[in-house]
Amino acid sequence: MQSELRVARIMTYIPHTPSEREVMLKTLGLNSLDDLFAHLPAEVKAGELNLPKGLGEMELSAEMSRRARKNKATNELTCFLGAGAYDHFIPPVVDQLVLRGELYSAYTPYQPEISQGILQIIYEFQTMMASLCGCDVSNASLYDGATALVEGCQMAVRHTGRNRLVLDGAIHPHYLQTAQTLLGVQGIELQIIAPKSGEFRSNINAMSAAMNEQTAAIVVGFPNFYGSIDDISAAAETAHKAGGMLVSISNPFSFGLLQPAGALGADVVCGEGQAVGVPLQFGGPYLGYICCKKEFVRRMPGRLVGQTLDMKGRRAFTLTLQAREQHIRREKATSNICTNTALCAMMSHFYMSALGKSGLKRAAELSVMKTDLLRQKLRAVKGVIVPEYAVFNEFVIETPEPAKQVLDGMLKAGVLGGLDLGIYDKARANQILVAVTEKRTEGEIERFVNTISS
């Protein structure tokens, strides 16, 4: 209560007076504001900043810089960590364009049609994403990969009127948790099918076998969490035969080189778009995206920009198919997403424009070649096992010592070696998920090998 009073005194623009807060807390039967958040795990709370009273702006900013330096950024380390967020090269022109005041908006603007420039950029972003993913339509973007997965699943459930989904267990564990939470409360039944024991490939056969006429969709990771690229067209065929759909959770960067999921039969392609033009930026905000075949467009969540003609017959852009959305359809809307991550979508647009089709292909090719080079070198390292399966730019290795120990050692040498898979599964405590982007040099790949051997 004391700290709260202090805040209220300093920040006088907080509209509630201490006595009003006390009344509200009393009504709720709580003693302090902290009680209101007691259900949150301690480790996710920011805690006290422990700043001395009355620092000047200059002293304060010096103090905060000093603290910020405790963080190690990827520009000081060599980053082989991926698992959904990747250290790709982004041309500086992207930053420069994004900082323009007329574009600097986190969301779809209000009265969007006044901002024709932003709508044109979003329209072009949609066109590029749809084309990259092998689909007919993309929306204006969603929040992140995990919620994009949920939205993709909901599209299938709504379209088929079926209440059951078969999910690939080789989707990011965080995404699966999000799906279990958000779909579980809607009473949607999820059957999660893990890869075969000791394997990292998506278990397409088992997923196909689990598909039936009560199931809305097969939901597959392509490339999956372990980097594996599998033949999802078989899953598409099974799903369609049973009157269901195929939803693919994909890293769109991979489609610079790989056959896109849409072309392989996926009806909905969605996931995390960070790899296509958004910096790592401390883990967010990122870029959820969702694309689909034309016949499903009215099941699509969120905002959609269309092209039209204005009163004078000139090319113009407008939000379209809004009858899907919450402000019109209320509780029957396709989703409660009512905006998009406009700034991140714009970054992605500028990135894709700067690289072009051939640039995206080259960046993807380089990532694959360098991934292959590192895998090759690691096969020769004593004690390290490189499981064999087809991958894009990410793969698993098994180490003789626990992954945590290996990674801590590498970090001391300035190498961010990857993700300790033991975090999610104790049986995987000796496994590391390693990602290689086009940014990694041969010398850096050599350093990875040297630091892991020592």
Partner 1 sequence: MSNVLPGLKYSKEHEWVKIEGNVAAIGISDHAQSQLGDIVFIELPKVGASAQYMKAVGVVESVKAASDIYSPVSGKIVAVNEQLTKTPESVNKDCYGTGWMVKIELSKPEELNALMDDKAYTEFLAKH
- Give the tokens for residue 3: 């700290």
296: left (phi over 0), alpha (psi -120 to 50) or beta: alpha
Sheet with strand 288-292: strands edge to edge: 137-138, 288-292, 268-272, 245-249, 215-221, 164-168, 189-193
Shortest Cβ distance from residue 188 to partner 1 (Å)?
20
Beta-carbon contacts of 125 under 8 Å, excluding residues fewer than 6 positions away, are 138, 140, 141, 345, 346, 348, 349, 352
Q: How far is the CB of 328 from partner 1 (least distance, A)?
A: 6
Specify the 3-state DSSP secondary structure of 350. helix
| Cis previous bond, 195, omega within 30 | no
Is-contact 454 104, C-beta < 8 A? no
* Total binding residues toward partner 1, as defined by CB under 8 A: 6
State which residue, 324 or 447, has the beta carbon closest to partner 1: 324
Considering only residues 243 through 302, tell me which ones interact with partner 1, judged by CB under 8 A. Answer: 298
* Shortest distance, position 245 Cβ to partner 1, whole Å: 15
Burial 233-268 (b: 16+ CB within 10 A, else e): bbbbebbeebebbbbbbbbbbbbbbbebbbebbbbb
Residue type at 145? Answer: G
Per-residue interface string for the shown chain with partner 1, residues 372-411, x marking contact by CB under 8 A: ----------------------------------------
Residues 6+ apart with CB under 8 A from 13: none
Whether the ω angle into residue 285 lies within 30 degrees of 0, i.e. cis, is yes
Hey, which residues between 143 and 172 contact partner 1 (CB under 8 A)? none
| Closer by beta carbon to partner 1, 312 or else 332 | 332
Residue 199, exposed/middle/buried by CB under 10 A (0-12, 13-18, 19+)? middle
Nearer to partner 1, 148 or 217 (CB): 217
Cβ closer to partner 1: 127 or 320?
320
Rank residues 321 and 429 by Cβ distance to partner 1 and give the closer one: 321
Beta carbon nearer to partner 1, 191 or 322: 322
- Minimum distance, C-beta of residue 217 to partner 1, in the bound complex (Å): 17
Q: Smallest distance, Å, CB 435 to partner 1?
A: 43
d(CA 36, CA 336): 26
**Min. distance of Cβ 124 from partner 1 in angstroms?**
25
Q: Give me the least distance between CB of 135 and partner 1, in Å please.
A: 20
User: Smallest distance, Å, CB 359 to partner 1?
Assistant: 39
For partner 1, what does the binding mask look like between residues 314 and 353, x meaning CB under 8 A?
A: ---------xx---xx--x---------------------
Output 26 or 298, the one with its CB closest to partner 1: 298
Closest to partner 1 by CB, 164 vs 324, is: 324
**Residue 121 and residue 97 in contact, taking contact as beta carbons nearer than 8 Å:** no
CB of 297 vs partner 1, minimal distance in Å: 10
Write out the H or E segment, with its range, that includes residue 192: strand 189-193
Burial of 391 (0-12, 13-18, 19+ CB in 10 A): buried
Helices (H), 298-441: 326-329, 342-379, 403-412
- 39 touching partner 1, by CB under 8 A: no
What residues line the site for partner 1 (CB under 8 A)?
A: 298, 323-324, 328-329, 332
